[in-house]
Structure 1
Amino acid sequence: MLSHEMIKSLVEISGSKANDRDDGYFHIAYGVDEKFLYGVGTSISSILINNKETHFHFHILVDDLTDKQLFQQLVESSQHKITIYLIDNQEFKRLPLPSQAWSHAIYFRLVIIDYLSQSIDKLLYLDADIICKGNLSYLKTLEFNENIYLYAVKDKFCSEKKQLPMEMSKYFNSGFLYMSIQKMVEEDIPNRVIELVKSSHFTHPDQDALNILLNNKLVNISENFNFMFSLDWYITSKRDINNIPDEVVFIHFVGLTKPFHEWANFYSEYQFFEIARQNSPWKNIPLLKAESYKQLSRKKSHLRKNGKFLQFLLATAEYMKKKIFH
């Protein structure tokens, strides 16, 4: 069972022009481990750049924190707020992960749904590898009722392949969730997700469980709000690479290579991340290095494709060493 005791402490940050009350704020949440805070910071920056008329309160759930001052700088002279929740993730470590590329932070959003339902209703959850390139004001026009708890975007890459006890044509990607969290808690959705994950063998644990439980309380909206794109398509050639349409609001950089990785900056789609980065306190923070042998495999492939042969050889040697001693 979820407990508010999973939140060890809160760090509250308010811009100098912020209101004392939360009236009129648009609430956005992220759930990450510390390695993805770079992504969170630049994601927030991209939202602020493209939505200057909106007051935001960002909620960040993380298992460790060393970047507090960067988030302070991000909103210090603004009307925006950031609350950082330090999470005790021991209970979540008992839940399944189908891939080492994922962390137990995928379950953190269940905590914030439960916790914030006491004070607000509408909440947008975003994955940390999402960059905003447009205005999100359309979301403010959406309403919730007894039949609609969630607005999400159909996952066109998964829905036709999976077999779950639900209407698969509505299967959504959980990187973007615009929710009535009070209705979610009334139906005990967070705890039911955990119980379903424990008793099943899902390929995408929390996402599959959310789809099953909310299939009849869901409205699919335009893919412009969760436009999935992988930088790794440049090396895998698994899909045709199309330009990102002008009308896209949120780009979701799926796959192992994220725009905040040091080997990701060869491609035109990287520009959307870099604009946000250059307008944030992270502009002077180096991009992240490859840590796992799987990341090193991606890195060397991107270096080879882009003619960086000396760097490719060095990355290959590092990859072989890491894989042997993995």
Structure 2
Amino acid sequence: MVPISKKLSIILLCSFVCILYAIVIGITNLDYLFKHKKIILLLSNPDKVYQIAFSADKEVFQLFPTLLNSIFKNLHEYEKANVHIITMPDISEKDIKILQSFSMNKFDKKIALLFYPFNYKLKYTRTLKHVSEATMCRLLLPNIIDKSIDKLLYLDTDVIVNTPLRELFGININSQCGIVARSSTKADLINEWLKKDKIYPHIIYNGTKSFNAGVLLISLNELRKNHFTDKAMEFVEKWGLNDQIILNLYCNGEYDELPMQYNFWAGRDDYRNTSAHGIVHFAGPNKPWQPNYQPYEEQVSISN
């Protein structure tokens, strides 16, 4: 007859083997699921949501589907975008509803549109004829956008996104002004514009470099901390300066440099350098929706 103590030892050993087997099988199954079923742990790896902003008047509002589509095509499976659109008074509720309907049907909840009516009366000098007053909206971004949002990508409406946004949003914003931008090829461009508007030498730009404001990675918290909008409005009310001049005066050349591929200037940069076509910016009077503008026809057609 087997002693009770030995029976208990056998039972405990069998139980231990069963538990160990269950643990091993469980780990194996989990490993399989993680590798092959793409399980997301929502608490540790939630969807990444990018904050993007642009502004528009009636003239360019109809072009938004192309820009939005180019953003959508470069979102990873677990990435989303909140797109903040500042609208000028000539954009109607009907226009907004049409774009909302398009977005809901096309982008499967990966892009959320948030609209902000721009009803401010600004004194504005149109330094460049092809630049709309709608661009002045970026001066108010720190006040308009929810205070919980810090890192924001501002895009002009004449861009096409051809690259995933995660690397761009991974760029650190180290400058005290809170702006990452691509430098212009002419360091003295701001003073040239000030002279054109007959404001120089009342205002002189002293920075050693200046930037194009069509693609900006912004720390809204830094702009808020620096009271950027208040300072910008002083320039607008007194001198009627445009937004790009004001942004450069604010940074005074002390901004972080944006890699070329995130603001590739169509018509000025070498379009044959396709590796640099991360964000193609159709800066200048020639635009991609014009029938006679052909060099980037492929990028535009891909985004439609």
Query: What residue in structure 1 maps to residue 54 of structure 2?
Result: 30
Asked if structure 2 preserves the Cα contact closer than 8 Å seen for 1:117 and 1:185, the reply is no
From 276, 281, 284, the equivalent of 1:247 is 276
Select between 182-191 and 240-249 the one with higher mean Cα deviation.
240-249
Aligned equivalents of 2:128, 2:180: Cα separation in 1: 27
Query: What residue in structure 2 maps to residue 84 of structure 1?
Result: 115
Residues 1:46 and 2:70 aligned together? yes
Aligned equivalents of 1:228, 1:35: Cα separation in 2: 21
Asked if structure 1 preserves the Cα contact closer than 8 Å seen for 2:176 and 2:222, the reply is no
From 47, 61, 66, the equivalent of 2:86 is 61
Select between 187-196 and 63-72 the one with higher mean Cα deviation.
63-72
Asked if structure 1 preserves the Cα contact closer than 8 Å seen for 2:47 and 2:80, the reply is no
Residues 1:129 and 2:177 aligned together? no
Query: SS of 1:272's equivalent?
Result: helix
Asked if structure 1 preserves the Cα contact closer than 8 Å seen for 2:159 and 2:281, the reply is yes
Asked if structure 1 preserves the Cα contact closer than 8 Å seen for 2:175 and 2:255, the reply is no
Asked if structure 2 preserves the Cα contact closer than 8 Å seen for 1:225 and 1:250, the reply is yes
Asked if structure 1 preserves the Cα contact closer than 8 Å seen for 2:264 and 2:280, the reply is yes
Q: Which amino acid aligns with 2:111?
A: H
The sequence identity of aligned pairs, in percent, is: 23
Residues 1:260 and 2:297 aligned together? no
Asked if structure 2 preserves the Cα contact closer than 8 Å seen for 1:153 and 1:221, the reply is yes
Q: Which amino acid aligns with 2:62?
A: Y
Residues 1:196 and 2:196 aligned together? no
Aligned equivalents of 1:240, 1:218: Cα separation in 2: 22
From 215, 220, 237, the equivalent of 1:181 is 220
Larger Rg: 2
Asked if structure 1 preserves the Cα contact closer than 8 Å seen for 2:51 and 2:151, the reply is yes
Cα gap change, 1:148 to 1:190, in 2 (>3 Å): closer
TM-score, length of structure 2 as denominator length: 0.71
Instruction: Note the C-alpha offset of 1:199.
Output: 3.7
Aligned equivalents of 1:259, 1:42: Cα separation in 2: 10
Cα gap change, 1:99 to 1:151, in 2 (>3 Å): closer
Query: What residue in structure 1 maps to residue 247 of structure 2?
Result: 210
CA root-mean-square deviation = 2.6
CA deviation map 1:120-170 (0-9, x unaligned): 1111100000101112211232233573611111122x434443423232x
Stretches of structure 1 that go unaligned for 5 or more consecutive residues are 1-18, 231-238, 278-326
Cα gap change, 1:146 to 1:50, in 2 (>3 Å): closer
Residues 1:228 and 2:257 aligned together? no
CA deviation map 1:56-84 (0-9, x unaligned): 00011112132522333224423321112
Aligned equivalents of 1:240, 1:165: Cα separation in 2: 26
Query: SS of 2:248's equivalent?
Result: helix
Query: SS of 2:284's equivalent?
Result: coil
Asked if structure 2 preserves the Cα contact closer than 8 Å seen for 1:41 and 1:71, the reply is no
TM-score, length of structure 1 as denominator length: 0.66
Query: What residue in structure 2 maps to residue 115 of structure 1?
Result: 144
Residues 1:140 and 2:169 aligned together? yes
Query: SS of 1:173's equivalent?
Result: strand
Give the length in aligned residue pairs: 241
Aligned equivalents of 1:132, 1:38: Cα separation in 2: 17
Instruction: Note the C-alpha offset of 1:177.
Output: 0.9
Asked if structure 2 preserves the Cα contact closer than 8 Å seen for 1:134 and 1:247, the reply is no
Q: Which amino acid aligns with 1:46?
A: S
From 211, 216, 232, the equivalent of 1:172 is 211
From 153, 156, 159, the equivalent of 2:182 is 153
Cα gap change, 1:240 to 1:56, in 2 (>3 Å): closer
Stretches of structure 2 that go unaligned for 5 or more consecutive residues are 1-41, 192-203
